[in-house]
Amino acid sequence: MTLRYVTTNPGKVREAEEYLDDVSALDYDYTEVQAPELGPIAAHGAREAYRHAGEPVIVDDAGLFVDALDGFPGPYSSYVEHTLGVELTGRVAREAAAAADGGDSDGDGEVARAAFRCVIGYCDGDDFAATPEPVDRGERRGQDLAADDRDSATTDAQVAGDDGSADLPVKLFEGVVPGRIVEPRGDGGFGYDPVFEHDGTTFAEMDATEKNAVSHRGRALAKFADWFAER
Ligand code: IMP
């Protein structure tokens, strides 16, 4: 059985092919639950996609975590990108860093310490009894949700999977790339790439190969591929 990467983004599958011999895209619109961490979101998606596909799946969830904003926008990065926008989010991050001890000065002004994080969730119906943690077993049942989320449309039952899917364990792999939020530079990439600087270069100034070599998704994929090769 082939491994399916559940995504509508062909770029992600091309990136995964650099780490995995046999992976193909599965275009399936799984429910993106709201939660304050990436892990439960990827786990819920992987469970739902596995139930749909009946073959091994990976699902990823990613976001930008700004130190001076206590990790915000994090799992809400897509929403914030499409509401506040990248430039304004970057400015808010740098001003918050200037007001607190969350940044450095680079000569051109304040920059904010941040990280991109990506969590890959893998599900094939197995219970991973012999593998190291973290494995999401759906036991959170919503208690980790922010109070606001609990009162909103996302119910505990949805997070847990009221169809019994919560019992399907999902193995999680996290990749993190540290960086700094700077004034926008470069016109490649997508999302927050122009304001995210890693080792002196923004992600938007890198070509795809350079970015993939250091990116949060690349790091999570590398961890997953190592483990999957032993499986
Ligand atoms: P996704 O989970 O990969 O869809 O990412 C969620 C959101 O995080 C995206 O809509 C972007 O706002 C942001 N994001 C994730 N990865 C990246 C990246 O590599 N560059 C820029 N923005 C990213």
- All domains in the chain, ordered by first residue: 3-228 (3.90.950.10)
Which ligand 1 atom is nearest residue 203's CA? 20
- Please tell me whether the peptide bond between 73 and the residue prior to it is cis, using omega within 30 degrees of 0: yes
Residue 25 is predicted with a pLDDT of 95
Pocket flag, ligand 1, residue 15 (CB < 6 Å): no
Residue 154 is predicted with a pLDDT of 37
Residue 100 is predicted with a pLDDT of 83
Residue 101 is predicted with a pLDDT of 65
Residue 123 is predicted with a pLDDT of 97
Mean pLDDT per 10-residue segment, the chain (231 residues)? 90 92 94 93 96 96 96 97 98 92 63 96 90 80 41 38 66 97 95 97 95 96 95 83
In DSSP terms, 201 is beta-bridged to: 198
Distance of CA 55 to the CA centre of its chain: 22
Catalytic residue among 60, 61, 67, 124: 61
What b/e sequence results for 60-86 when a residue is b if at least 16 CB atoms lie within 10 Å of its CB, and e otherwise?
bbbbbbbbbbebbbbbebeebbeeeeb
Pocket flag, ligand 1, residue 55 (CB < 6 Å): no
Q: Atom 7 in ligand 1: which residue has the minimum CA distance?
A: 78
- Please tell me whether the peptide bond between 40 and the residue prior to it is cis, using omega within 30 degrees of 0: no
Residue entry with tokens 């990280």: 115
- 164 vs 15: CA distance, rounded Å: 33
Residue 155 is predicted with a pLDDT of 37
Pocket flag, ligand 1, residue 169 (CB < 6 Å): no
Q: Atom 20 in ligand 1: which residue has the minimum CA distance?
A: 193
Residue 206 is predicted with a pLDDT of 97
